Chain A
Amino acid sequence: MLSKLFKYEIKATGRIFLPLLLALLLFAVINRFTIGPEKFDTPAMISMAIYIIIMVGMFVMTFIMMIQRFHKNLLCDEGYLMHTLPVEPWKHIVSKLFVSMLWMVISGIAALISILIIALKKGDLTKFTEALATFYHQAFELLGASVYLLSFEIIIVLLITLASVILIIYASIAIGHLFNQHKMLASFGAFIALSVFSEIFLKLFNLIPGTAHSSNIHISSVHDLISMQPAIQLMIASGIIFTGLVCAAYFAVTNFIMSKRLNLE
């Protein structure tokens, strides 16, 4: 069932994103040929402007879609269709979460690729890959195998932070749904309240030794970086755990409201 929900969620959102992505890449290609050091004429300016508009629009769209898919599809009239499917509510939340994350990541990657398309000059790519390889070798020499762990952790941190941003918004929307009037206002209020609670929870969490950035960690040289490894690892790991807990809390709130406090008009 979860995979079916993914399928339809991607279909519903893809019809908006794929054209945007294609348009972005198309204008990146156009801009590659229209700009040069001498050619700052009007067509170039226009195509660059369009490119920037599309880029911004794409990111704005990922944000708007994330909210709209959750609110419109689950808490408005379409909710009658979705909530009578033989599917547990948590699967609805997960499918929308994952697909929102997917489009955000893809948008990021597409943006990067489009920039490379415009800016990359001949030989740049080789220079870049060479520099990357050098960096990698140096890192490996210094940090050993933990370079893999570190990269992995960084990716996890990024993803789980992204998830927590989406989940706090879902939870706020869900809390807003509980109110009969001024639902949007209630959602904003909930967002602020949840953010405050998270901050307080963070302060409490950081009382646990080793979890926070403390003045004990001085990175003034590469040597420090290596010796501080365990401390850094602990900090990152605890960051992941904290964000994970926060995600779980937002998810639980959203799931509870959708299972037990649903009230479609």
Chain B
Amino acid sequence: MSTIILECDGLIKKFGSKVAVAGVNLKIERGQIVGLLGPNGSGKSTLLKLANELLTPSSGTILIGGAKPGVETKKIVSYLPEKTYLNDWMRVHQIIEFFSDFYEDFKPEKAYDMLKSLNINPQDRLKTMSKGTKEKVQLILVMSREAELYLLDEPIGGVDPAARDYILKTILSNYNEKATVIISTHLISDIENILDYVVFINQGQVVMTSSVDDIRDEKGKSVDALFREVFKC
């Protein structure tokens, strides 16, 4: 199996005259935890949607494990969008059954374990939950899959610090050398320590890529500090 799990080559996405992704070239290897960092509207979410075939490229290519986004790549990609996307009428255990049905790599035991740790009752209806709890459920569903590429769009934005720690711990404990986690976020200082590699993106283009340690070595500052410098308003 190739070592590159995500590859973008001259990737462009336009919405009418607006260019959201303006020619991205990127190669991400397996077994990495990568931060996709950039200000609002920089094209992070668009990039993740392109990887999921929720959008189709205007030109250029994006490959997951060497294949174009499609049914086969969706089997190995686990995506957490920024939105709450679960249907309201189901109970938690029903959505777990749903995921088990459609995803071969879904592990219900893991999901139930995590629900227990976060004190979420599987019998509860999604409709009755707070936004924060729904987001936790969504994250649990995504992390209970044994995927080869996890794409997390702002996974820790809406949760309290304790849950945030739990989520980062879960991401780490899920780590395996075949899989890669790409986290798109603004909350950099919280996740810096778990990142291998960061990709700075602005106005649809990759501004910089580097390992976290190299940044600290060469620039003597944290990724968070560098980000503030690079993206100063």
Q: List chain A positions with a Cβ less than 8 A from chain B.
A: 1, 4, 7-8, 12, 15, 73, 77-81, 83-88, 259-264
Contacts and interface: CB of A to CB of B under 8 A. Distances in A.
Contacts of B54: 79-80, 83-84, 262, 264
Nearest to B104: A86
A195 to B, nearest CB: 28
B83 A87 contact: no
B15, B53, B103, most chain A CB atoms within 10 A: B53
B164 interface: no
Contacts of A8: 98, 101
Interface string B41-55: 000000001001111
B174 interface: no
Contact of B103 (A80, A86, A261): A86
What size tier do the contact residues of chain B reach? 20 to 34
A61 to B, nearest CB: 15
Contacts, number: 57
A15 B15 CA distance: 39
Nearest to A5: B102
A85 B74 contact: yes
Given A12-B89, A80-B81, A80-B83, A87 B55 contact: no
Contact of B74 (A77, A86, A261): A86
A96 B207 CA distance: 44
Given A86-B71, A263-B15, 8 more contacts: A78-B86, A79-B54, A79-B85, A80-B54, A86-B72, A87-B71, A87-B74, A262-B55
Contacts of A7: 101
B55 A263 contact: yes
Contacts of B52: 83-84
A4 B101 contact: yes
B211 interface: no
A78 B85 contact: yes
A183 to B, nearest CB: 15
Contacts of A83: 52-54
13 contacts: A12-B89, A73-B87, A77-B83, A80-B54, A80-B79, A80-B81, A81-B85, A81-B86, A84-B54, A84-B79, A259-B56, A262-B55, A263-B15
